[in-house]
């Protein structure tokens, strides 16, 4: 088998080449690098081994159980015994071993079960390490990463689907895989979807509107009303600055922005600039003052309303919470109600991200960020993907590079690959003051825009939507806002995770959500006393905000105003800047 250029010339050479290049690419993709991942794994296991010498009982028991299981596995293989239950089986939801060869072919069945037994032994030993909380979390996380990376499905020689496809296509699948690998290597990231299928403004982010304001930090979009009337009090949407806003305006059937417009809301949205090294000095204060405060001012001026409602998501919600606390100090009542989607304000439990957050790792990354002037969005995206490595890394390595397949179009995965940088100054403040020090929940511990802030001084009605499977903003951590804010909070818990739980359109009306739990006695008590409601949470929120939206008036005939004239059509130019 021959390839162009300096590529491999036979299947085995291809397999070796894929392994080498994938390792290099993963190191390039990862914020800390694949090398650092294995360094962390080795460091954690070295400490575990050292401790085990003091009490070897754990190791002896785990190894004895493993040896017994391996003996039974070998016995079944050598005797051809197919009547007994498998010694080891994949966990429910594990899609790696779905091909029938993993069960019907004795060799592949043995490889699968042997891998699962080894995985179980490593996992049990890691979980029983009894280290400090931080070290324990890192040990378990990097053990999972190592286990996932070593799966036999990730190697052509031990994956029956890959070998069969290579035979069926006479090696063409391997050639296609090489082309995919080289293309992704050029991009510096793994392709998760057919990116040629999407264009912003054509089949993504298509809700009609205009950019009516821009500065160094944001563009503000005003969307065209669909009905003859709108509510007097407008809605300003504040997405996370860590992602592109169009996750809220994907396609017409799943666009939260379009849903707001359809509900008669006079809708505005913040589109954050994708910063470069030239914007390295943009601070948290700048994002509040030049971002949120300016967007609030423009929204009020264009709508003619002295009060507005806001909707914010993730770090956009954290920024909004600090802005509201500043406004409370200044007696500014411009925001009448605030909706927070999967937003952390108490960072005592940062979820699975805790494995990346300690003094040593943060200081290392700070040095890198300071030199570049920004936190590279690709590195951030890879860290998030590592939290679900089988689904978001290895499945694409197998399909794209070993099987030579092109991933199908998927709007959310296209957005997931469209990363955003963070300014060095803003990122450094965010990671230290929020994640490491958890200062936001301490009254008067932070000074934002010249004001010492206290979340307890926020008195406006708030709607908190969290999701039960969120691994980035755990719902029990977001629930703590009900104990620190000084306002009436409507807490709603949706099904699914950080993104899919939010983008759950009313038109599909899938999944479910929980409401009306008793507050004041912790998250668990709230859940025990809550009511489960079938379907999307969107109509529940629409009714909540409608009661705070004022009366109906004639919809504006034009977008913007005399002072804020349309500059360009939505989605605007800021969101189209890519970092490839």
**Residues with active-site annotation:** 314
Distance CA 418, CA 571 (A): 15
Can you give 95-114 as a three-state secondary structure string? CCCCCCHHHHCHHHHHHHHH
The dihedrals phi and psi of 512, each to the nearest 5 degrees, come to -160, 175
Nearest one of 308, 428, 410 to 370, comparing CA atoms = 428
Distance separating alpha carbons of residues 487 and 548, to the nearest angstrom: 15
CB 461 within 8 A of CB 488: yes
d(CA 11, CA 7) in angstroms, rounded, equals: 11
Angstrom distance (rounded) from CA 213 to CA 560: 9
Rg of the chain, C-alpha, whole Å: 26
CA nearest to 434, candidates 469, 486, 468, 473 = 473
CA distance 276 to 376: 9
CA-wise closest residue to 236 among 253, 223, 247, 249: 223
Q: Name every residue whose Cβ is closer than 8 Å to that of residue 185 and which is 6 or more positions away in sequence.
A: 21, 24, 25
Place of tokens 């493993």: 66
SS3 call for 130:
coil
The pair of three-digit structure tokens given for residue 496, joined into one six-digit string:
């699914």
Any idea what DSSP says for residue 290? I
Report the distance separating Cα 481 and Cα 526, nearest Å. Answer: 13
Q: At 513, phi and psi to the nearest 5?
A: -155, 165
Q: Are 497 and 469 in contact (CB under 8 A)?
A: yes
Give the HSE-up count for residue 317: Cα atoms under 13 Å, Cβ half-sphere: 22
- Structure tokens of 183? 């293309």
Three-state DSSP state, 265: coil
Q: Which of 535, 532, 536, 496 is nearest to 516 (CA)?
A: 532
Helix (H, G, I), strand (E, B) or coil at 394: helix
Structure-token match 């306002």, residue found:
487
Which two three-digit tokens encode residue 540?
């529940």
**Rounded Cα distance, 105 and 113, in Å:** 12
d(CA 275, CA 535): 38
Closest Cα partner for 245 from 504, 467, 575, 472?
575
Give me 398's structure tokens.
Answer: 């197998």
Bridge partner list, 432: none
């Amino acid at each position: 088998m021959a390839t162009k250029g300096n590529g491999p010339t036979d299947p085995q050479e291809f397999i070796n080449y894929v392994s080498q290049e994938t390792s290099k690419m993963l190191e390039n993709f990862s914020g800390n690098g694949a090398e650092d991942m294995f360094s962390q794994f080795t460091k954690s296991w070295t400490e575990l081994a050292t401790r085990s010498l003091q009490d070897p009982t754990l190791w002896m028991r785990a190894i004895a159980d493993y040896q017994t299981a391996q003996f039974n596995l070998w016995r079944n293989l050598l005797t051809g015994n197919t009547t007994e239950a498998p010694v080891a089986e994949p966990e429910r939801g594990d899609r790696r071993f779905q091909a029938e060869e993993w069960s019907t072919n004795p060799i592949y069945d043995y490889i699968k079960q042997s891998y699962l037994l080894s995985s179980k032994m490593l996992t049990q030993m890691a979980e029983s390490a009894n280290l400090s909380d931080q070290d324990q979390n890192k040990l378990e996380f990097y053990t999972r990463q190592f286990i996932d990376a070593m799966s036999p499905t990730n190697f052509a020689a031990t994956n029956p689907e890959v070998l069969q496809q290579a035979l069926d296509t006479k090696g063409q699948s391997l050639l296609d895989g090489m082309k995919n690998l080289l293309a992704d290597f050029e991009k510096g990231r793994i392709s998760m979807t057919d990116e040629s299928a999407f264009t912003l403004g054509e089949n993504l982010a298509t809700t009609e509107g205009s950019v009516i304001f821009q500065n160094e930090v944001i563009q503000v979009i005003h969307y065209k009303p669909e009905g003859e009337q709108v509510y007097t009090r407008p809605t300003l949407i504040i997405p996370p600055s860590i992602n592109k806003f169009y996750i809220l305006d994907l396609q017409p059937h799943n666009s939260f922005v379009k849903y707001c417009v359809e509900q008669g809301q006079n809708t505005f949205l913040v589109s954050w600039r994708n910063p470069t090294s030239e914007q390295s000095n943009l601070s948290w204060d700048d994002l509040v003052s030049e971002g949120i405060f300016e967007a609030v001012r423009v929204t009020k001026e264009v709508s003619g309303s002295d009060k507005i409602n806001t909707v914010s998501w993730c770090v956009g919600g954290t920024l909004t919470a600090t802005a509201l606390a500043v406004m409370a100090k200044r007696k500014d009542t411009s925001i009448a109600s605030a909706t927070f989607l999967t937003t952390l304000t108490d960072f005592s439990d940062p979820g699975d991200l805790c494995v990346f957050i300690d003094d040593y790792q943060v200081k290392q990354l700070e040095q890198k960020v300071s030199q570049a002037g920004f936190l590279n969005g690709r590195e951030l995206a890879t860290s998030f993907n590592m939290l679900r490595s089988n689904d978001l890394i290895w499945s694409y390595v197998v399909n794209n590079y070993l099987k030579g397949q092109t991933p199908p179009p998927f709007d959310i995965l296209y957005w997931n690959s469209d990363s955003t940088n963070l300014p060095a100054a803003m990122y450094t403040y965010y990671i230290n003051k929020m994640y490491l020090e958890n200062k936001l929940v301490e009254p008067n511990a932070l000074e934002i825009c010249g004001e010492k802030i206290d979340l307890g001084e926020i008195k406006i009605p708030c709607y908190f939507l969290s999701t039960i499977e969120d691994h980035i903003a755990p719902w029990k951590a977001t629930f703590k806002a009900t104990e620190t804010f000084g306002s009436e909070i409507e807490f709603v818990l949706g099904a699914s995770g950080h993104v899919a739980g939010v983008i759950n359109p009313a038109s599909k009306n899938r999944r479910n959500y929980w409401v009306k739990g008793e507050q004041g006695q912790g998250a668990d008590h709230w859940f025990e006393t809550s009511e489960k409601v079938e379907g999307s949470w969107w109509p529940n929120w629409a009714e909540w905000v409608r009661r705070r939206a004022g009366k109906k008036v004639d919809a504006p005939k034009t977008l913007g105003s005399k002072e804020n004239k349309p500059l360009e059509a939505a989605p605007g130019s800021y969101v189209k800047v890519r970092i490839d």
